[in-house]
């Protein structure tokens, strides 16, 4: 699709994105065009350079109204950006793993550590694992120790306190329970043309993980 010079004058960030995407370090701007959550230059600049929202340490796109803690202990898959939507709280103290193509809606809370019942000075850490192709609805809360299998859909406003490891289901409520079981044969796996874990090309991610992550 061709754009006129006037278009770029009115949309300067589009011009910057177009130019920078030709550089190796910014190829994600071009290569993630088919992702469910597209990232432009202004989004990256606000997060990684201006550090608006204090999420500079996250290696994936995070909206400035969301909060991510202990990013070094969070493993995100391809096209899986917890916190890219507004108002999320992602706390990775006990470890969080999120599978490829899992989508996280606004105002979602995912915590992997909580206070001890008898001594709130102590933190009880329990890893959270969310599979591939999941969908976490707006305002849902995923509590420490929860494991969700592939193709788990969490209804908006749900509080998930126990695991649903088999996946292929819709869960909802407080606390969450199975509302509907999905036909696994109808669940369609897919893959993007170019693979990125956040801002990092998938073929370089394992090297990044060994150097910077603890999970």
Q: Judge whether residue 23 has pLDDT over 90.
A: no
- 80 vs 98: CA distance, rounded Å: 7
DSSP letter for 151, please.
T
List pLDDT tens digits, range 62-87: 999 999 999 999 999 999 999 999 99
Share of the chain above pLDDT 70, in %: 90
- 118 vs 133: CA distance, rounded Å: 37
pLDDT tier at 7 (50, 70, 90 boundaries)? Answer: very low
- Say how many Å lie between the first and final Cα of the chain, rounded: 41
pTM of the shown model? 0.90
- The per-residue pLDDT for 152 is 98
Domain ranges across the chain:
58-186+201-212
CATH architecture, range 58-186+201-212 = 3 Solenoid (2.160)
Q: Judge whether residue 3 has pLDDT over 60.
A: no
- The per-residue pLDDT for 127 is 98
């Amino acid at each position: 699709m061709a754009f006129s010079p006037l278009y770029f004058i009115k949309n300067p960030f589009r011009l910057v994105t177009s130019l920078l995407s030709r550089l190796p370090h910014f190829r994600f701007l071009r290569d993630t065009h088919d992702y469910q959550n597209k990232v432009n230059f202004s989004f990256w600049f606000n997060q990684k350079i201006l550090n608006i929202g204090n999420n500079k340490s996250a290696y994936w796109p995070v909206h400035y109204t969301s909060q991510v803690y202990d990013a070094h202990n969070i493993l995100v898959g391809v096209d899986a950006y917890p916190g890219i939507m507004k108002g999320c709280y992602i706390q990775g103290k006990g470890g969080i793993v999120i599978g490829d193509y899992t989508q996280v809606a606004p105002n979602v809370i995912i915590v992997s550590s909580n206070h001890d019942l008898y001594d709130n000075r102590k933190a009880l850490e329990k890893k959270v694992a969310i599979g591939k192709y999941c969908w976490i609805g707006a305002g849902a809360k995923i509590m420490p120790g929860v494991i969700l299998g592939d193709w788990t859909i969490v209804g908006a406003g749900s509080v998930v306190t126990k695991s649903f490891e088999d996946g292929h289901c819709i869960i909802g409520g407080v606390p969450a329970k199975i509302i509907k079981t999905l036909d696994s044969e109808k669940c369609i796996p897919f893959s993007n043309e170019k693979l990125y874990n956040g801002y990092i090309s998938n073929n370089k991610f394992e090297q990044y993980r060994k150097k910077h992550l603890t999970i």
